[in-house]
């Protein structure tokens, strides 16, 4: 029933534990000699001991291994003894045929333990200390057995029967005792019926190992509530980290079985919700979310601390928070905001400050991710206490106020992860928004309408502090249940370093057990946050225009936190690195890197990698002059974005920016200008100022190409001022270059101005700009010189020739035919003036080649473009 927290289940005796008891008995059989009977050496004896230790520790796992698995593990461990061990084990187990046998068995077990007066034992006598790990285990088993009712003993007996039969029916080499044919068939049958399901479940790896043995028939022994919760939490983390590595149906099947075994364990529904969420099944996600909170009122699981005031309300505000995030995930911003607003109200009503803090953070995230032109009518009364100045503020101002409030709340509640996340959000806000005073009346203070990179850095650094706090605290976040699952995983993981020496084993040493690897003490979620702080840094430097720093941060991320990162973040970092390659090293290298990334993220977050691929294809098509292909790719890119207004803004802007560029390349100037103009309107509406700078620059370029330099100038200047306010240094250099080109096209009397501008931008361009930008700058510089009437080519030809050569080298890598042709054309003119006819012909030939290539684009040379 809701609101009732069940006590964690007790230690229950199961067939697997009986097996372990049998092995313990072998290990510690009371004898007078130092090495008991079956063992031939001390190391052999010790190896079994270590193995038993590991087994008892992993006994807290959710599902127990089958006898078959135990036997195969024994083979690894037992060395020469394995036959003896397995035979002994199976015969001992199958000799248990009546309840009385079980009574006797546990009585014998008592004998293995040393008595309380065992202090006087002889040195070389092997006897189990009751307080040792194995001794405790044995005592717990005996106690659990003694607590069983007679029915319980009968069930144990039946289960042992099933446990043995399963192992025997699957490996026929063992002699069948006491089993007639029909019984075996009884247990073999259900498997054949669920064959297809079994096949499904074999197709997944990460979660499959643990639960692959869940069978609808008997033979499955569930563990305590505690352990299953631990397992479920771990799975939840895994799904959130990398949802697509789970197959929808296989995991659903696992969960369904778990639910069948433990119908009162409601967290399963939450896992189902996550599973369908990450597989984009809206209806199932919605249904399961509601179901989970209906059943448990959010009060299930060990992360639940009963509130001090003992209110029986449940935690439905968390349901609202989750529902809001779900709508956000599916791209329903309006519903998300409505639900989160309700979450704020309900959290306030029930004074759940923690939930309130998280909800506010979620709203901030929503507002910053999705374009809202206005929040009026949505962000209503519940926000007025926070935005005390009323709702007349712009969305951005509201966002700022909310961010501040949320940060303060998180700090006062000591929610470290939330604080870190809020710092990151703040950094993001500061990166893209100019802070204006909230009140527009009163004496005007001197306003500095610029973003402040220092603040951004500070926020990022504060976000990063989180990791040091967790390093000091140790693994308080890891939960017992999850921990015990890790134990078993490590047991099965063949890893290099050896704990056990495999001295006299006749088998190869390739599969040793590693018992002692502990899970990292820093929780995965913290590492993810730290990782995303690196991603933010990389993005910040990208925006500010420092390519090397952006690259370095991306690399740090990829090398240090990639293991813990979610797959979408990892994909993002690959995208960044590949984009960098494309800009600085050309397409060939970028595409080969893309191939690797595609393989790596084969099933994972395909879209991001797909978008990158389309971007690269488009870029290259434009440079090569494949305008049809460019348009096609551009359309494909547009289709990927959601059809809902204001969702997937980034992608939409990208698509229409590229559309405008394609039109520009096709010399359809008025249409290009129209597309760019409407794009600018959209950016203005949603307050996307960084993007506005880019669009304005594009408009300037369109006017430049269409020969309307006078119209282009104000656009370039506007872009420049945006760049200045937002510290977009590289874009600013690029805008300066365009400005220079505009001046240049106004006539030869402006060459001085143009040249000064270019020279001013050169340090930035050469230091951080990509191949294309550098080449453009070189050519523009050469053009300036050439059109300057006071400049004489014959006096110092290298001043012109050198940049032109540089440019042609870089453009060759990019296969940018149009610009390369221009370069060679200029070169030919220079050589002509210098009277070097041979070189002139050479340059002219190159010019011709590029023009030909531009006019006859060759399709289909690259397999990637067909995809």
Partner 1 sequence: MSSKESCRNELRTAIRQLTDRCLYSASKWAAEQLVGIEQDPAKFTPSNTRFQRGSSSIRRRFRTNEITSTPPTGVAYVSTPVMEEDEVIHGDFYLLAKSYFDCREYRRAAHVLRDQTGNKSVFLRCYALYLAGEKRKEEEMIELEGPLGKSDAVNRELVSLERELSSLCKNGMIDPFGLYLYGLVLKEKGNENLARKVLVESVNSYPWNWSAWSELQSLCTTVDILNGLNLSNHWMKEFFLASVYQELRMHNESLSKYENLQGTFTFSNYIQAQIAKARYSLREFEQVEVIFEDLLRNDPYRVEDMDTYSNVLYTKECFSALSYLAHRVIMTDKYRPESCCIIGNYYSLKGQHEKSVIYFRRALKLNKNYLSAWTLMGHEYVEMKNTPAAVDAYRRAVDINPRDYRAWYGLGQAYEMMGMPHYALHYFRKSVFFQPIDSRLWIAMAQCYESEQLHMLEEAIKCYKRAANCNDTEAIALHRLAKLHRELGYPEEAAFYYRKDLERMEAEEREGPNIVEALMFLATHYKAQKRFEEAEVYCTRLLDYTGPERETAKSLLRGMRMAQSSFPSMDVEHFHP
Q: Tell me: does residue 192 bind partner 1 (CB under 8 A).
A: no
How far is Cα of residue 212 from the mean position of the Cα atoms in its chain? Answer: 25
Q: Tell me: does residue 342 bind partner 1 (CB under 8 A).
A: yes
At 63, is the secondary structure helix, strand, or coil? strand
At 113, is the secondary structure helix, strand, or coil? strand
Q: Minimum CB separation from partner 1 for residue 3, in Å?
A: 5
At 158, is the secondary structure helix, strand, or coil? helix
Return d(Cα 301, Cα 377) in angstroms, integer.
37
Residue 863: CB atoms within 10 Å: 9
Q: Tell me: does residue 155 bind partner 1 (CB under 8 A).
A: yes
Q: Minimum CB separation from partner 1 for residue 564, in Å?
A: 31
Pick the stretch among 65-73, 148-156, 728-736, 816-824 that binds partner 1 (CB under 8 A): 148-156
Q: Minimum CB separation from partner 1 for residue 367, in Å?
A: 18
Q: Minimum CB separation from partner 1 for residue 170, in Å?
A: 18
Return d(Cα 231, Cα 245) in angstroms, integer.
17
Binding residues with partner 1: total (CB under 8 A)? 51
Pick the stretch among 338-346, 543-551, 703-711, 717-725 that binds partner 1 (CB under 8 A): 338-346
* H or E stretch at 711: helix 709-725
* Contact mark string toward partner 1, 161..190, x via CB under 8 A: ---------------------x--xx--xx
- Helices 709-725, 689-705: inter-axial angle, 10-degree rounding: 160
Which of 117, 122, 123, 151 lies at the binding interface for partner 1 (CB under 8 A)?
Answer: 151
* Contact mark string toward partner 1, 226..245, x via CB under 8 A: --x-----------------
Return d(Cα 864, Cα 160) in angstroms, integer.
58
Output 295 or 470, the one with its CB closest to partner 1. Answer: 295
Output 215 or 242, the one with its CB closest to partner 1. Answer: 215
* Backbone dihedral angles phi then psi of residue 708, each to the nearest 5 degrees: -105, 60
Return d(Cα 514, Cα 527) in angstroms, integer.
24
Return d(Cα 223, Cα 58) in angstroms, integer.
12
Q: Tell me: does residue 1 bind partner 1 (CB under 8 A).
A: yes
Return d(Cα 658, Cα 544) in angstroms, integer.
22
| Residue pointed to by tokens 């434009």 | 622
Closest CA to 398 of 417, 423, 373: 373
Please give the full DSSP string across 454-490, using - where no structure is assigned.
HHHHHHHHHHHHHHHHHHHH-SSSS-HHHHHHHHHHH
Q: Tell me: does residue 384 bind partner 1 (CB under 8 A).
A: no
Under 8 Å between Cβ of 661 and 694: no
Under 8 Å between Cβ of 213 and 63: yes
Which of 345, 624, 626, 840 lies at the binding interface for partner 1 (CB under 8 A)?
Answer: 345
Output 353 or 589, the one with its CB closest to partner 1. Answer: 353
Q: Minimum CB separation from partner 1 for residue 735, in Å?
A: 46
Residue 607: CB atoms within 10 Å: 12
Q: Tell me: does residue 356 bind partner 1 (CB under 8 A).
A: no
Q: State which of positions 246-305 bind partner 1 (CB under 8 A).
A: 260-265, 286, 290-291, 294-295, 297, 299
Which of 93, 346, 782, 784 lies at the binding interface for partner 1 (CB under 8 A)?
Answer: 346
Q: Minimum CB separation from partner 1 for residue 387, in Å?
A: 18
Q: State which of positions 586-625 bind partner 1 (CB under 8 A).
A: none
Output 161 or 712, the one with its CB closest to partner 1. Answer: 161
Partner residues linked to 63 by β-bridges: 222
- The tokens for 65 are 């291994």
Output 142 or 156, the one with its CB closest to partner 1. Answer: 156
| Residue pointed to by tokens 């079985």 | 257
Output 14 or 533, the one with its CB closest to partner 1. Answer: 14
At 505, is the secondary structure helix, strand, or coil? coil
Output 422 or 484, the one with its CB closest to partner 1. Answer: 484
Closest CA to 511 of 521, 523, 524, 502: 502
Which of 138, 160, 222, 527 lies at the binding interface for partner 1 (CB under 8 A)?
Answer: 222
Pick the stretch among 121-129, 314-322, 622-630, 780-788 that binds partner 1 (CB under 8 A): 314-322
Interface with partner 1 (CB under 8 A)? 1-3, 6-9, 12, 149, 151-152, 155, 182, 185-186, 189-190, 193, 216-218, 222, 224-225, 228, 260-265, 286, 290-291, 294-295, 297, 299, 312-314, 316, 319-320, 323, 338-339, 342, 345-346, 349
């Amino acid at each position: 029933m809701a609101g009732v927290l069940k006590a964690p289940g007790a230690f229950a005796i199961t067939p697997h534990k009986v097996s372990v008891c049998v092995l313990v008995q072998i290990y510690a059989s009371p004898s007078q000699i130092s090495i008991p009977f079956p063992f031939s050496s001390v190391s052999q004896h010790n190896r079994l001991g270590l193995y038993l230790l590991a087994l008892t520790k992993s006994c807290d796992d959710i599902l127990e291994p089958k006898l078959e698995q135990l036997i195969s593990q024994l083979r690894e461990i037992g060395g020469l003894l394995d036959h003896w061990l397995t035979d002994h084990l199976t015969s001992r187990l199958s000799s248990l045929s009546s309840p009385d046998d079980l009574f006797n068995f546990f009585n014998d077990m008592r004998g293995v333990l040393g008595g309380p007066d065992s202090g006087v034992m002889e040195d070389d006598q092997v006897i189990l200390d009751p307080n040792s790990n194995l001794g405790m285990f044995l005592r717990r088993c005996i106690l659990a057995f003694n607590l069983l009712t007679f029915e319980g003993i009968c069930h144990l007996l039946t289960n042992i029967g099933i446990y043995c039969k399963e192992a025997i029916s699957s490996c026929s080499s063992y002699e069948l005792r006491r089993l007639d044919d029909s019984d075996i068939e009884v247990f073999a049958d259900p498997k054949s019926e669920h064959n297809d399901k079994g096949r499904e479940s074999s197709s997944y790896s990460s979660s499959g190992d643990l639960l692959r043995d869940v069978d609808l028939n008997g033979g499955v022994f569930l563990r305590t509530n505690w352990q299953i919760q631990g397992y479920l939490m771990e799975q939840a983390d895994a799904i959130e980290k990398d949802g697509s590595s789970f197959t929808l149906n296989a995991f659903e099947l696992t969960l369904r079985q778990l639910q069948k075994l433990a119908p009162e364990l409601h967290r399963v529904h939450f896992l189902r919700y996550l599973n369908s969420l990450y597989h984009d099944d809206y209806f199932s996600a919605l249904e399961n979310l509601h179901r989970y909170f209906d059943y448990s009122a959010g009060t299930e699981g060990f992360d639940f601390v009963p509130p001090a005031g003992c209110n029986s309300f449940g935690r439905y505000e968390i349901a609202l928070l989750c529902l809001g995030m779900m709508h956000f995930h599916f791209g329903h911003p309006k519903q998300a905001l409505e639900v989160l607003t309700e979450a704020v109200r309900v959290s306030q009503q029930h004074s759940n400050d923690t939930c309130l803090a998280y909800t506010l953070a979620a709203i901030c995230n929503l507002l910053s991710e999705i374009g809202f032109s206005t929040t009026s009518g949505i962000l209503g009364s519940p926000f007025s206490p926070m935005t005390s100045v009323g709702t007349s503020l712009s969305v951005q101002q509201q966002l700022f106020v909310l961010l501040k409030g949320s940060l303060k709340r998180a700090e006062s509640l000591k929610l470290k992860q939330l604080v870190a996340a809020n710092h990151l959000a703040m950094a993001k806000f500061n990166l893209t928004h100019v802070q204006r005073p909230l009140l527009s009346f009163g004496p005007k203070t001197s306003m500095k309408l610029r973003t402040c990179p220092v603040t951004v850095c500070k926020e990022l650094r504060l976000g990063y502090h989180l990791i040091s706090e967790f390093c000091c605290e140790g693994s308080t976040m890891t939960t017992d249940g999850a921990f015990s699952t890790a134990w078993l995983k490590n047991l099965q993981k063949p890893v290099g370093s050896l704990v056990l020496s495999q001295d006299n084993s006749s088998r190869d040493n390739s599969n040793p057990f590693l018992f002692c690897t502990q899970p990292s003490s820093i929780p995965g979620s913290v590492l993810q946050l730290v990782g995303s702080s690196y991603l933010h840094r990389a993005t910040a430097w990208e925006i500010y225009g420092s390519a090397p720093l952006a690259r370095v941060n991306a690399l740090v991320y990829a090398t240090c936190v990639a293991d813990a990162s979610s797959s979408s973040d990892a994909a993002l970092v690959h995208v960044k690195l590949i984009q960098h390659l494309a800009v600085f090293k050309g397409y060939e290298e970028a595409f080969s890197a893309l191939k690797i990334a595609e393989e790596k993220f084969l099933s994972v977050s395909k879209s991001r990698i797909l978008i990158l691929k389309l971007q690269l294809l488009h870029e290259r098509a434009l440079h090569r002059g494949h305008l049809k292909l460019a348009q096609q790719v551009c359309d494909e890119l547009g289709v990927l974005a959601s059809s809902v207004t204001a969702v997937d803004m980034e992608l939409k802007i990208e698509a229409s920016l590229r559309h405008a560029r394609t039109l520009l390349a096709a010399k359809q100037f008025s249409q290009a200008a129209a597309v760019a103009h409407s794009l600018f309107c959209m950016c203005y509406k949603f307050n996307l100022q960084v993007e506005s700078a880019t669009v304005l620059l594009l408009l300037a370029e369109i006017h430049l190409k269409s020969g309307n330099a006078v119209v282009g100038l104000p656009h370039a200047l506007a872009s420049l001022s945006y760049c200045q306010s937002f510290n977009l240094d590289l874009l600013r250099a690029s805008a300066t270059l365009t400005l220079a080109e505009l001046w240049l096209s106004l006539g030869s009397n402006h060459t001085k101005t143009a040249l000064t501008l270019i020279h001013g931008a050169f340090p930035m361009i050469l230091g951080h700009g990509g191949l294309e930008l550098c080449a453009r700058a070189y050519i523009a510089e050469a053009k300036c010189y050439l059109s300057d009437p006071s400049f004489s080519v014959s006096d110092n030809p290298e001043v012109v020739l050198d940049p032109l050569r540089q440019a042609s080298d870089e453009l060759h890598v990019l296969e940018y035919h149009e610009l390369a042709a221009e370069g060679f054309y200029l070169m030919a003119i220079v050589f002509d003036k210098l009277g070097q006819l041979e070189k002139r012909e050479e340059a002219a030939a190159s010019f011709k080649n590029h023009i030909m290539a531009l006019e006859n684009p060759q399709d289909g040379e690259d397999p990637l473009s067909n995809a």
